[in-house]
Amino acid sequence: GAQRESKVRVRAHFDYNPEVDPYIPCKEAGLAFQRGDILHIVSQDDSYWWQARRESERTARAGLIPSRALQERRIIHERTQREIGDGESKKNDDFDRELIATYEEVAKLYPRPGIYRPVVLIGAPGVGRNELRRRLIARDPEKYRSPVPYTTRPMRTGEVAGREYIFVSREKMEADIEAGKFIEHGEYKGHLYGTSAESVKSIVNAGCVCLLSPHYQAIKALRTVQLKPFLIHIKPPEFDELKKTRTDSRAKSTFDESNARGFTDEEFTDMIKSSVRIDFLYGHFFDEEILNADLVTAFEKLVNIVQRVETEPLWAPSSWVQ
Ligand code: 5GP
């Protein structure tokens, strides 16, 4: 018709299949999509059923999808049913996901010359995000840099202040954490560790690509308009392949040196479980995924992704675009 199409684009934070939706007025008119898909919302005229097409299928006919309001209601309803049903209390961070798991408005973020978005590698411990980060820095240390972390632990022989860590007192670090100067921090064997916001900023301002590989709990603190990070989930392959690629004598020597002792079956299982949980909680925040089965292949994909981040306009939360 003559009606003007809306320009709204959203990233779906949930999977949708109209075939199994008992509420949709007409299943044939529905549009199926998956979490992470970019959707062009053609019409929001109806408060329950929006019309949309997948951004990757620009010429396709628009289909019906649940509106944000409808999907939010559904989530609240399902949660209530579940709570009545099993009475099982949920982990606190489950709510992080459910509160926002509908649609996120996105727009194309254009690369700015000389100012690169930080690239954040998230993954279960042991899957290889630190090794991938180290390889990228080794490939071009002028361009790719990681901030030197802060710690309150004493310096070890052979370490240089400002090289492995910036060594500070516990009082100073606690005060700085309190003042919001750290983008992430944690405690390990009685000592504090963390990355300061200032050190990330100075890498960005120096015209370098800042690489971070924090604990996944840092995602929410990092995902700000100031940093505009690009998030990559480094995932393990399924058990047999994970075990094979990490136990193979040739593969072992090329993996993280801290892995040289090898992993137990239980540790492999934990990596997979942890990765599934990261995906459940934060899957909708990831811009890309890299399957780290073969390290060489995974690294090639990382190089490719980082090149695109540096040069191409990419979908990002619309609030980050001006
Ligand atoms: P180490 O004291 O042996 O150098 O490091 C021990 C552990 O401290 C690391 O395995 C890691 O878990 C943690 N760590 C090191 N740097 C950081 C950091 O920047 N942030 C956080 N949260 N933990 C870190």
What is the interface pTM, i.e. ipTM, of the complex?
0.94
Q: What is the pLDDT of residue 165?
A: 97
| Amino acid found at 305 | I
- Atom 12, ligand 1: residue with shortest CA distance: 188
- Tens of pLDDT, residues 7-35: 899 999 999 999 999 999 999 999 999 99
Q: 184 CB less than 6 Å from ligand 1?
A: yes
Q: What is the pLDDT of residue 101?
A: 78
- Atom 24, ligand 1: residue with shortest CA distance: 193
pTM above 0.90, yes or no: no
Q: Which residues does the chain have with pLDDT short of 70?
A: 1-4, 86-100, 248-261
- Please, how many CA atoms are within 13 Å of residue 322, restricted to the half-sphere of its CB? 3
Q: 134 CB less than 6 Å from ligand 1?
A: no
What is the per-residue burial (b if ≥16 Cβ within 10 Å, else e) of 105-127? ebbebeeeeeebbbbbbbbbebb
Q: 36 CB less than 6 Å from ligand 1?
A: no
